[in-house]
Amino acid sequence: MTMASDSYAVQLDEMIQLFQEYKSGSVTLDNITKLCQTLGLESFIDNIDAETSRLSTASKIIVIDIDFSKTIGRVKDVKLVLASNFDNFNYFNGPVVQLNKDGTNKEGSNILLNSLTQYPDLHQFHYNLKFLYLLDTFSSINIDANNSNGTNNSAGGESSGELDLFKYFTELAQFLRQYFADHGAPFKVVTNLDNKFGIYIFTQLSPVLLAKITFEKSRDAQQRLYEYVYYEGNKEWINESPENFTSGVSIVMEVNDETNQTWFPQDYLPKELVLDEGDSNTKSDALSPNDFMTSINVSASRGKFKVMNDFTTQLVPLKKFDISNDNTELIIEILKWIQWSRSVLYPIYETLNAPEGESTAGDADKEGTVTANGPQGKHGSVTTEHRKRRYSSKKTRSSVTEANMLKEEGLQQFNLQELMTDHDTDLNHQATERANSDLLGVDKMQVDEQVIDDSDTTCQLIFSEDHVSLENIAQCTLYDDMAKWDSFIEAFKAFSIST
């Protein structure tokens, strides 16, 4: 009977949360009070004076005072106080300048106040309130000085020592800034953005939002969260206090895919770290990874390019990852892949998948032969066969983590492209000898026509999840810096439009 009632309570709670997110209600004192009570916060209203009513809502740590104007029926002010020794929690927008619809500056403004005055409903405030309540629920701190054993989190998870998630969230942003600086990672960290709590990561030069880091309830209520901190001395993330932890909550990194999708190699990260595989069909014009691979295999030889598909794994649209504890060491690798995917892989795909009016796929019905400018003509002996490799089901390509480990130990890696170089060279040499032999039997006019046809010869593009190369013109890998990526894309686009 107890298990059935517990299951009913969980399902009811989920239904209430879905309803709140779907229709959170207008911004009235009564709706705000009900919303706070639904989350389990203690709430009461005081009449401060003839003009102002104050809603005070509180839990174990947080105390929120909301002043409401009786005359105009609007929120006047919101203050957050923490019942702990930490009083530097930041509930203001970060240093990135954001503008309201009316053009006013929101930088450094009160998130809680804005979420109750700048929106027509309580959706934004509900998001922020849930975040604060999560930190409150899973923090393990000693509020009562007489309780030397600390305070267990009210969610029922195991805890030991003290772990103040409000303090950890605040310090984590600074740890990330130092972590990026020490490793030469070109990323900018902003705490809170556009009236939402979170740690937001942008590109350094032209600010583009890549990902958001926040706290979420764990799938496993027994999963422990330790306070990993970043030390400048050894440039590592360290758990300096193993006795301090809480359970049932995780640090989560979510990819921003509002403008660009990001596809990851299927085995890029351990499956237990993947929390959300995303949905490539969330946008009507979105391209799925399967479409991407099919396009490479079937119709990628266009214009001046003859594509060799060197992918060794499938691509999947991953969106959210668990970066708790020592998984923080993967943050730079994930961010670099996001940039590689968007800066190199997708631009190449867009060029290869250009409309037929711009580049022609040619005739693919003649035993796999595809030419750059249409069907194979009478001088077909000089056209080269479209070649592709299917991505391997064995998934032999190593992950970024494995690659770095081998590099640190001084072990050289070879990919399939490098191993095939000598073999391809021999084949090309043999083909050249046969072509020269054939030319001995043709007249001068045929030779002149041959030279003209050679001016339109395609260039081989080797396209893989972690490296791309354009014959002897340019190449780059996931492990190169962004300057080399940009140089490759410039050379690639220059060749694609050259005559």
The string of DSSP codes covering 291-358 is HHHHHHHHH---TTEEEEE---S-EE---EEE--GGGGGGHHHHHHHHHHIIIIIHHHHHHHT--TTT
Mean pLDDT of 380-405: 38
Residue 290 has a pLDDT of 66
Q: Which residue, 103, 138, 173, sits at the end of a domain?
A: 138
170 part of a folded domain: yes
Distance CA 59, CA 43 (A): 9
Q: How confident is the model at residue 326 (pLDDT cuts 50, 70, 90)?
A: very high
Q: Is the pLDDT of residue 142 over 70?
A: yes
Q: Strand 228-231 vs strand 224-226: parallel, antiparallel, or unpaired?
A: unpaired
Distance CA 480, CA 336 (A): 10
Residue 206 has a pLDDT of 80
Distance CA 247, CA 198 (A): 20
Residue 155 has a pLDDT of 56
Q: How confident is the model at residue 451 (pLDDT cuts 50, 70, 90)?
A: very low
Range of the domain at 130: 16-138
Mean pLDDT of 445-449: 37
Residue 250 has a pLDDT of 97
112 part of a folded domain: yes
Average pLDDT, the chain: 75
One domain, residues 187 and 332: yes
One domain, residues 79 and 169: no
pLDDT tens per residue, range 25-77: 899 999 999 999 989 999 999 999 999 999 999 999 999 999 999 999 999 99
Mean pLDDT of 434-456: 40
Q: How confident is the model at residue 441 (pLDDT cuts 50, 70, 90)?
A: very low
Q: What percent of the chain has pLDDT over 90?
A: 45
Please tell me whether residue 465 adopts helix, strand or coil conformation: coil
Which amino acid, one-letter code, is at 499?
Answer: T
Q: Is the pLDDT of residue 209 over 90?
A: yes
Mean pLDDT of 379-388: 29
Q: Is the pLDDT of residue 404 over 60?
A: no
Q: Crossing angle of helices 29-38/123-138, nearest 10°?
A: 30
Q: Is the pLDDT of residue 153 over 70?
A: no
One domain, residues 314 and 178: yes
- Would you say 34 and 47 are in contact if contact means Cβ atoms under 8 Å apart? no
305 part of a folded domain: yes
Q: How many CA atoms lie within 13 A of 449 on its CB side?
A: 12
One domain, residues 334 and 280: yes
pLDDT tens per residue, range 229-246: 999 989 999 998 999 999
Q: How confident is the model at residue 391 (pLDDT cuts 50, 70, 90)?
A: very low
Q: Is the pLDDT of residue 283 over 70?
A: no
Distance CA 437, CA 89 (A): 79
pLDDT tens per residue, range 99-133: 444 444 455 699 999 999 999 999 999 999 999 99
417 part of a folded domain: no
Least confident of 280-289, 378-387, 489-498: 378-387
Residue 460 has a pLDDT of 87
Mean pLDDT of 331-343: 94
Residue 207 has a pLDDT of 87
SS (H, E, C) 57-79: EECCCEEEEEEEECCCCCEEEEE
What backbone phi and psi angles, to 5 degrees, belong to 284? Answer: -60, -30
Q: Most distant CA pair in the chain: distance in Å? A: 106
One domain, residues 132 and 172: no
One domain, residues 312 and 233: yes
Residue 57 has a pLDDT of 96
CA dihedral (75, 77, 78, 84) positive or negative: negative
One domain, residues 238 and 108: no
One domain, residues 127 and 171: no
One domain, residues 113 and 181: no
Q: Which residue, 353, 370, 388, sits at the end of a domain?
A: 353
Residue 322 has a pLDDT of 97
493 part of a folded domain: no
CB neighbour class for 229 (10 Å; exposed up to 12, middle 13-18, buried from 19): middle
- Would you say 170 and 213 are in contact if contact means Cβ atoms under 8 Å apart? no
What backbone phi and psi angles, to 5 degrees, belong to 467? Answer: -155, 150
Distance CA 386, CA 376 (A): 12
Ramachandran sector of residue 101 (left: φ over 0; alpha: ψ -120 to 50; beta: rest): alpha
**For residue 101, what are the contacts with CB-CB under 8 A and spacing of at least 6?**
none
Q: How confident is the model at residue 154 (pLDDT cuts 50, 70, 90)?
A: low
Q: How many CA atoms lie within 13 A of 271 on its CB side?
A: 1
Residue 321 has a pLDDT of 95
Mean pLDDT of 464-468: 92
One domain, residues 216 and 344: yes
Q: Is the pLDDT of residue 149 over 50?
A: no
Q: Is the pLDDT of residue 253 over 70?
A: yes
Residue 237 has a pLDDT of 97
One domain, residues 192 and 339: yes
Query: pLDDT: is 182 or 17 the higher one?
Result: 182
177 part of a folded domain: yes
One domain, residues 99 and 30: yes
Residue 323 has a pLDDT of 97
456 part of a folded domain: no
Residue 364 has a pLDDT of 33
- How many domains would you assign to the chain? 2
Q: How confident is the model at residue 456 (pLDDT cuts 50, 70, 90)?
A: low
- Would you say 279 and 361 are in contact if contact means Cβ atoms under 8 Å apart? no
478 part of a folded domain: no
Q: What percent of the chain has pLDDT over 70?
A: 62
Question: pTM here?
Answer: 0.75
Q: Which residue, 93, 120, 138, sits at the end of a domain?
A: 138
Query: pLDDT: is 9 or 319 the higher one?
Result: 319
